[in-house]
Structure 1
Amino acid sequence: MDIYLVGGAVRDLLLGLEPGDRDYVVVGETPDAMLAAGFRPVGRDFPVFLHPRTNEEHALARTERKSGRGYRGFVVHADPSVTLEQDLERRDFTINAIAQDADGNLVDPFGGARDIEARVLRHVGPAFTEDPLRVLRAARFMARFAPLGFTVAPETMALMREMSASGELDALVPERVWQELSRALASKRPSAFVRTLHDCGALAAVLPEVEALYGVPQRAEYHPEVDTGVHVELVCDMASQLAPGDTAIGFAALTHDLGKALTPEEELPRHVMHEQRGLAPLRALCERLKVPVAHRELALMVCREHLNIHRLLELRDTTVHDLLARCDGFRKPDRIAQLAIACEADKRGRAGLQDEPYPQRNELLRLHAATLAVSARDIASEELTGPQIGEALRKARIEEIGKARSPGG
């Protein structure tokens, strides 16, 4: 069999990165030949097989032809006549269209290795425009590779603008949008995902609530970057730095200020009540993209409470307790730590303020820990019943918050 390592594994090897899954393409074979060699079939839409020993995926070389709207509208053709170059030609970017044979020799008909050297994300050919998902994939690759110096080729960005303007992105199903978004949020520079989509006009199609933040001014004394869209980019990157790979915190960072797009023009650049105004568009976004419940709950909590956490050192003990209760912090304690990190990301995600201290994070964790040390068993007695136990527990927790306050807190 003529077997080639392809795609991301070759790309990452050339970049000096640890490759993830290793995918292979098989040229000149039939499904029957694969089965006879002991491979196990797993592909539904096209012939993909698992190696009998390594379980690595091996796909027969194939071509694709556009047959309908959206990313599913393709007819796949796979048979022994399909060449390696034809298989590589259907791929999205040149850096993903490189193959390597068993001896380590590269097959690179579209200059992917050259683009890796130049740190350029470039589409393979005109068929790029046939799949709207590739716009999101370009943005997601930028979230991963922008720290390495990658930029989008001007001709690729031009095609992405055409695709965005055509309305083709409306055919994307919510699950695929969320999949690309969540992978970008787990990357080192999620801001590159947002900025790439904004620059090509796609953000308005997939995340209109975030697109609406660009051009909205904030008070320069608190936000030297002024533009709310730029602020959100900075917060996303700070969240990635503080909590690498935590997509729930990343999503909360992305959506915490949606209400600023709804501030009446006469109130700008102030944003009174933007926390409350942001809840409705955030719920709509979560519903549309079918965002997981844990991500949704944390995002709503951060949107609603982030200014309260910023003012934590000024809040009364009873107010702190009620905030923790409102966030369900006694039943789900882990979310308070996530809330604290997301709020720190918001405070430090500002131009020139990335190294500012944020004592509120540790203070919130300390006060929360103090309340968790109190249990219903500690205050139980024969004289107290139902609601009385709850009120006694509340008072005991508030008392512990007061004891745990740090000097000056």
Structure 2
Amino acid sequence: MTVPGRAWIVGGAVRDALLGLPAGDRDWVVTGTTPEAMRAAGFTPVGQDFPVFLHPLTHEEYALARTERKSGRGYHGFTFHAAPDVRLEDDLMRRDLTVNAIAEDPLTGERIDPWGGIADLQARVLRHVSPAFAEDPVRLLRLARFAARFTGFTVHPDTLVLCQDLVAAGEVDALVPERVWQELSRGLMGAAPERMLSVLRETGALARLLPEVDRLWGVPQRADFHPEVDTGLHLLLVLQQAARLDAPLAVRYACLCHDLGKGTTPADVLPRHIGHEARSEKLTRIVSERWRVPNDCRALAELVAREHGNIHQSLSFGAAAVLRLLDRCDAWRRPERFAEALLACECDARGRTGFEDRPYPQRARLLAAFDAARAVDTAAVAAEAAASGARGPAVGAAIGRAREAAIEVALSGG
């Protein structure tokens, strides 16, 4: 099907192809045409702020070349101009990073690279296209997310300065929760999620978006448990382990939040952090509400924040204590979440200097205990208890005793 004007592939598809990465969704820019011509050619308009159309066969998005001008605060504070006389170079100038401002003609292979994106790909540098970068706070989040994805890339110093200016101007305060979570979650799933936090912290954005996380830096921990001492550094190491163990998003978010309470430990009791788990759970709830975190991530993060200390100490637990832990974790109704909580705790235990390759037997021990307890025929136990006259709580107590007995056998290696 013929596209009116000239169609160019732009953005991530071109970047990733030049890096030898698998091709993802393609974004298109069309020059030398009008919205009327696109509709006449069978394209379906979908854009509200500027002309974007869906291809009738491939359903890929085709945007008309456009320019933009800052007109208000935040991500939506722009006015756009799209017309046949807008050049491809003008459209590329409004993009965030040079590595995302490369266009390619799919028919001829011609590339348009007015801002040196190819050279920056070769140099492994993330660099802004123009000073307009500082006008859009989402670009800062995308930069941090790209730093987490492209582990061999560095952020250009001038780009960091622009980000700091953006934060100082209060632009990040205009970000909407849905977009913040979208970028944070994608950054957490990067190959090096800790790099996202480092960029956000260096630009000052972490203190505005996640002050509960930002205040962890400079907070000491006991060196015998945490040779890295600094709680912020520990968090980075935990996120490294989450990526290393290929943890899912909910686990990585739990890792992000698990120690938030240490940032509020009174100075006179440092480097101990007595009761930080309860404070971490409360702060995790606040962060999750602020950014409208999905329920699965929220629930796991609160569980890990509250119970990670007990899970770490569970090697000394007998059957009764293990059963109480399983009950508190709601393992019977949420077995997958319990397994994810144990993985998050393993990331936490390994996220310490010198502990990266240490085994974490707590995870296997608790899973074995849980499997043994879950194998108990609770219906048969309940029926037997009822036949002997037990009712209500007494039936539940009988089931608990049966589960505890099964856990006892599992812990003893039977």
Structure 1-normalised TM-score? 0.97
Match status 1:88 vs 2:88: no
Q: Which amino acid in 2 is paired with 1:386?
A: G
Partner of 1:231: 234
Partner of 1:44: 48
Partner of 1:178: 181
Deviations 1:235-268 (A, max 9, x none): 1121122134x11100000010011111111111
User: What's the secondary structure of 1:76's corresponding residue?
Assistant: strand
Partner of 1:365: 367
Match status 1:208 vs 2:214: no
Partner of 1:390: 396
Deviations 1:111-167 (A, max 9, x none): 000000000000000111110111111101101012xx1000000001111111222
CA contact (8 A) 2:281 2:303 kept: no
Q: Aligned partners of 1:406, 1:223: CA distance in 2, in Å? A: 31
CA contact (8 A) 2:70 2:77 kept: yes
1:71 to 75, 88, 107: 75
Mapping of residues 312-391 of structure 1, within 5 Å: 312-379=314-381, 380-381=383-384, 382=387, 383-391=389-397
Segments of structure 2 that go 5 or more residues without pairing to the other structure are none
Quickly say closer, same or farther: Cα 1:406–1:131, change in 2 above 3 A. Answer: farther
Q: Which amino acid in 1 is paired with 2:140?
A: V
Deviations 1:279-323 (A, max 9, x none): 222111111111111111111111111111111110121111111
Match status 1:128 vs 2:133: yes
Q: Aligned partners of 2:236, 2:281: CA distance in 1, in Å? A: 20
User: What's the secondary structure of 2:219's corresponding residue?
Assistant: coil
Alpha-carbon distance, 1:378 to partner: 2.1
Q: Aligned partners of 2:246, 2:274: CA distance in 1, in Å? A: 29
Match status 1:167 vs 2:170: yes
Segments of structure 1 that go 5 or more residues without pairing to the other structure are none
User: What's the secondary structure of 1:235's corresponding residue?
Assistant: helix
Quickly say closer, same or farther: Cα 1:223–1:30, change in 2 above 3 A. Answer: same
CA contact (8 A) 1:243 1:341 kept: no
Alpha-carbon distance, 1:406 to partner: 5.2
Q: Which amino acid in 1 is paired with 2:110?
A: N
Q: Aligned partners of 2:404, 2:30: CA distance in 1, in Å? A: 67
Partner of 1:402: 408
Alpha-carbon distance, 1:54 to partner: 1.5
User: What's the secondary structure of 1:278's corresponding residue?
Assistant: helix
Q: Which amino acid in 2 is paired with 1:117?
A: Q
Quickly say closer, same or farther: Cα 1:272–1:91, change in 2 above 3 A. Answer: same
Q: Which amino acid in 2 is paired with 1:82?
A: V
Partner of 1:220: 223
Q: Which amino acid in 1 is paired with 2:7?
A: I
CA contact (8 A) 1:94 1:124 kept: yes
Quickly say closer, same or farther: Cα 1:131–1:87, change in 2 above 3 A. Answer: same
Q: Aligned partners of 1:52, 1:284: CA distance in 2, in Å? A: 44
Partner of 2:60: 56
User: What's the secondary structure of 1:86's corresponding residue?
Assistant: helix
Partner of 1:260: 262
Partner of 1:311: 313
Partner of 1:11: 15
Q: Which amino acid in 2 is paired with 1:119?
A: R
Match status 1:106 vs 2:111: yes
Alpha-carbon distance, 1:168 to partner: 1.7
CA contact (8 A) 1:363 1:406 kept: no
2:252 to 240, 246, 250: 250
Q: State the aligned residue count.
A: 405
Q: Aligned partners of 2:246, 2:8: CA distance in 1, in Å? A: 37
Output the aligned Cα RMSD.
Answer: 1.3
User: What's the secondary structure of 1:71's corresponding residue?
Assistant: coil
